[in-house]
């Protein structure tokens, strides 16, 4: 049976990742900051009690990441999905930058996925599938930036893309495949509920991409339809 660890599972994309993988028979390690407040996730656990566990994890807390890795030391992790992320509303425009919020964006969107990879490297290396998936955004593509603005989010996701490219090179000796995935403009709190793609469509598409990728794809940037995106 395959094991998956997903961050940011209290709502949106992370919750749907947990729902679809649990329904498909995977063992799901679902992480979020406040499990006692994650009502939808708790209901999902009741439905899949035999294959979904919930763990408190603030990805901005490196010590807590290390603690969870130690706690799960007996587990293999076939797929690590670094889904937790933040978009800082306000303070994103030129001459109105919230620099403290910018640091938070980098801490959560860029640094945390690298820390997760470092902490869980042995869990992943011992697994059969050996995959790290970092959820990014097309807004992190320099090639695609034709509207400016969104300095905090764009830069932190562009940096995540670079982190992922370096991981693909550095972890090749472990046989680990790592990519960045753009989920599309999705009907979530971040994407807005008038967005063209449903959460179910996005996650279903990304699961197909995750299932088919191998070492030849490591370090690449894909969208949820499997189309490669220019950096």
Residue 59: which of 7, 103, 5 has the closest Cα?
7
pLDDT tens string 152-182: 999 999 999 999 999 999 999 999 999 999 9
All domains of the chain, ordered by start, with CATH? 3-223 (3.40.50.720)
pLDDT of residue 208 exceeding 90, the answer is yes
Q: Say which DSSP state 73 is in.
A: T
Instruction: Return the pLDDT at 89.
Output: 83
Instruction: Return the pLDDT at 195.
Output: 78
Please report, rounded to a whole number, the percentage of residues in the chain having pLDDT higher than 70: 99
Binning the chain into helix, strand and coil, the percentages to the nearest 5 are 45, 15, 40
pLDDT tens string 28-44: 999 999 999 999 999 99
Q: What is the mean pLDDT of the chain?
A: 96
pLDDT of residue 192 exceeding 80, the answer is no
Residue 160: which of 175, 177, 139, 176 has the closest Cα?
139
pLDDT tens string 116-148: 999 999 999 999 999 999 999 999 999 999 999
Instruction: Return the pLDDT at 21.
Output: 98
pLDDT tens string 4-33: 999 999 999 999 999 999 999 999 999 999
pLDDT of residue 191 exceeding 80, the answer is no
| Whole-structure pTM value | 0.96
Tokens, residue 130: 């050996």
Instruction: Return the pLDDT at 1.
Output: 84
Q: How confident is the model at residue 91 (pLDDT cuts 50, 70, 90)?
A: confident
Instruction: Return the pLDDT at 194.
Output: 76
């Amino acid at each position: 049976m395959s094991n998956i660890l997903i961050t940011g599972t209290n709502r949106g994309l992370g919750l749907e990742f947990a729902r679809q993988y649990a329904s498909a028979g995977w063992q799901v390690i679902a992480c979020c900051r406040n499990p006692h407040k994650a009502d939808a996730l708790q209901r999902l656990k009741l439905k899949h009690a035999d294959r979904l566990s919930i763990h408190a994890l603030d990805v901005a807390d490196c010590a807590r990441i290390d603690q969870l890795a130690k706690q799960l030391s007996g587990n293999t992790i076939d797929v690590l999905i670094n889904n937790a992320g933040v978009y800082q509303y306000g303070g994103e425009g030129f001459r109105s930058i919230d620099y403290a919020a910018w640091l938070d964006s980098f801490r959560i969107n860029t640094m945390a996925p690298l820390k997760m990879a470092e902490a869980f490297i042995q869990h992943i290396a011992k697994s059969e599938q050996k995959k790290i998936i970092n959820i990014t955004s097309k807004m992190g593509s320099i090639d695609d930036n034709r509207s400016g603005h969104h300095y905090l989010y764009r830069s932190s996701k562009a940096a995540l893309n670079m982190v992922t490219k370096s991981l693909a090179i550095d972890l090749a000796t472990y046989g680990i495949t790592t990519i960045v995935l753009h989920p599309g403009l999705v009907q979530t709190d971040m994407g807005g509920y008038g967005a063209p793609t449903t959460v179910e469509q996005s996650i279903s598409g990304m699961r197909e991409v995750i299932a088919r990728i191998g070492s030849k794809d490591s370090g690449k940037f894909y969208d949820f339809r499997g189309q490669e995106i220019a950096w």
